[in-house]
Chains A and B, each alone.
Chain A
Amino acid sequence: MTETEIIKGCIKKNQVCQRLLFEKYAGKMMSLCQRYSNDQQEAKDIVQEGFIRVFDFIHQFKHEGSFEGWLRRLFVNVATRHAAKRVINFGDITVVDMDITGIDPAVVSKLSEDEIHRLITRMPEGYRLVFNLHVVEGYSHEEIANLLGIQSSTSRTQLTKARRMLQSLILKQFNVVIV
């Protein structure tokens, strides 16, 4: 069954198609939700709610652009709404200042997907949200500001610090010595 057929089936509320769609994207969406949530249970709740919304609103997908992109945006919306229920600290976190310009791209490339995921989830929530939205999902700072109810300048600052923190975590993790 092609993706288009599955989508058409989902629009017709066909449960088999819905299941196929779920099986196809659940892993990726679970990963996305884990990056935005504080624990596994919350990630599960977001995935659950996200797929219910997908099945309810799939008829709004216009077949312009990739379906996965549409799906990701929908899940990001659900995840950020969940996150907005919590008090998120967008303040400064002390990060050991490191010069990251010297990191060899090969070192980062060698990191597995799971390792990167683990490092991202170690960042404070404010950093993590902005980092995920901007770097991974490609949201602009204005969009992030709207989504999270913060200033776009805050978003920029948080991103810079988040990036620096993640890099320092990578360096620490793998005992990379910059010479």
Chain B
Amino acid sequence: MNSQQFDNIIKSKSQQRVADVPDDIWENIIKEKRKRRMPFFWLILPGLLLGGLILLWNSYHSSSNKTIITTQKNEKENVKEPDMNSAPEITSRGNFKTVQENTESSTALTDAVKKDQPTNVVLGSRAHYNIQLAKTGENTGVDIVKTAGKYNVGITTPGLNENNETGLTETYNTNMNEDGNSFATKNKKCSGKGNSSILFGGGETNSILDSNSNKLAIGESQPETTSTLEELPVDTNVVASHPVIVKDSLAGNRKEIFITKKAVSGRKQSVKSLKVEVAVGVVSPLQDYTKPLLIKRVLDNGTVKSEFISDQIKTEVEPGTEFGINIVKSVSKQWSVGGGINYSRFTELFRLTGIETRTDITIIQRVVIEPNGPSLKSDTIINSTKSNTTINGRNIYTNIAVPLFVRHQFIERRKFAFAVTTGLYVEVLKKYHSDAPGKFENTVAPGNTKPSNNTHIGVDVFAALHFSGALWKKYDWFAAPGFRYGVSRYNANSLSFNKKIHKPVFSVGIAYRLKK
């Protein structure tokens, strides 16, 4: 026998051999395939979070740089030359008119402010004006004072109203700025004549930041003047880098100066903002599953046994509702994080068509005459029938989830804002109820895992658009169309078919600002 013959025999025998295959190999292959698919979903989330963190870091970084530059600049030059070209248009308000622009008056004003002198301004002047930082020894005038890393317009001496009283009848805080000068910020609305008027007396030039109404008035008035100063809305976080518009008006012996920030946004998100959002939404679930090949139900009460096998399975998930309460905390001017609780519920209608085999077992007794006398004997009569049966039922899915999300605000306008939200819905409870009687068992296609009865938690990845706008006082409205992608399956029981349910959602609600 030569090598070639030997090799050929070995080759043919080896190639023909069929080994026993362990049962779990196929299941392991399926599991492994799923695992390899999963990173796609999990890669998106860290990517988003990483992107968010980079943007967040950039936004903080650039913001702090700006402040430093501005501070240095302002320390060098106390008063900046007015820039008439970029001055925004100011419309007439009440008895204050925008007359011709006068750069000189503006300079006079700033000089006066700087020197703590009664201001002499020309009627109707308007110009850009840069607020200075407070310096040591300057305890009056319009200053920017820095508190907790933010710049606020401060006052050093509360003014008096026409009754020789302080214009600030409510409590106000006296604080020290970074150079040791005191300043005050008002906590509540000022008293005075008219609506939200503030009067400053003694010829001193003061300013006040009304932290309650988020309006700023800066002005000078003689004690006998009782005119109302119009308050103009400003951002509470006035920073030194923002040019402001000074509007001067002279009416009689009254000199009033109004200062407001350029391009004020009424809805600008504060870094401190904290709000509660209550939402109600419509969910229109989508199913993602492999239909079982067969569904079997056995009912057995001792005398009647019914075995129903269905191979025609039709299910349809109906739109449902969801409710949610979230707390949203802003971490920067554009970014917020939030979390809360969400409840959703929807129903699924299913129709199972198949053959039911019903077996009736009847035990009868008969008298048998035997040699030693009559006796009773039991006979079992089994009657079996087959019929085409359709079972219509309803499954109810109830979910309680904890949403965790980040939100990035792209557009901010006075009337509305637009943001994108993304995050996770951690489903802490997935309940499932079927009103079809009996216990069902399904036979799944090869490779599909049968559902277990013990998985009631899961995760949805979601993304949503978020439109919001001011509603009333501290209330905002919002509308949020979004999509929740079900990562985990419903393994609640055999009738849930081990399916994923994705949830397109449209939510509307009201947000209440706890802090602005």
C-alpha gap A16/B30 in the complex (Å): 12
B1 touches A111 (CB 8 A): no
Residues from chain B with a CB closer than 8 A to the CB of A34 are 19
A27 touches B446 (CB 8 A): no
- A48 at interface, CB cutoff 8 A: yes
B1 touches A28 (CB 8 A): no
B10 touches A52 (CB 8 A): no
Residues from chain A with a CB closer than 8 A to the CB of B3 are 163
- A117 at interface, CB cutoff 8 A: yes
A116 touches B19 (CB 8 A): no
A27 touches B18 (CB 8 A): yes
Which of A1-9, A86-94, A99-107, A150-158 is found at the contact surface with chain B? A99-107
CB A149 to nearest CB in B, in angstroms, measures 24
* With contact pairs A52-B29, A52-B33, A163-B6 given, residues A111 and B19 touching in the complex (Cβ less than 8 Å): no
A-side interface size class: 35 or more
* With contact pairs A16-B446, A52-B29 given, residues A26 and B21 touching in the complex (Cβ less than 8 Å): yes
Q: Which of B20-38 contact A (CB under 8 A)?
A: 20-22, 25-26, 28-30, 32-33, 36
- A113 at interface, CB cutoff 8 A: yes
CB A169 to nearest CB in B, in angstroms, measures 12
| Interchain CB contact (< 8 A) of A136 among B14, B28, B29 | B14
> Interface residues of B, CB < 8 Å — how many?
32
Is the contact region of chain A dominated by helix, strand, or loop, or is it mixed?
helix
C-alpha gap A19/B2 in the complex (Å): 42
CB B77 to nearest CB in A, in angstroms, measures 68
A108 touches B1 (CB 8 A): yes
C-alpha gap A40/B290 in the complex (Å): 33
Residues from chain A with a CB closer than 8 A to the CB of B5 are 105
A104 touches B33 (CB 8 A): no
* With contact pairs A16-B446, A31-B18, A117-B17 given, residues A55 and B33 touching in the complex (Cβ less than 8 Å): yes
A residues bordering B, Cβ < 8 Å? 15-16, 18-20, 22, 26-28, 30-31, 34-35, 40, 44, 47-48, 51-52, 55, 100-105, 108-109, 111-114, 116-117, 120, 132, 135-136, 138, 163, 166-167
Chain A to chain B contacts (Cβ below 8 Å), 7 pairs:
A26-B25, A27-B18, A48-B32, A52-B32, A105-B1, A113-B14, A163-B3
Query: Closest 5 CB pairs between A and B?
Result: A19-B446, A27-B18, A113-B17, A30-B19, A31-B19
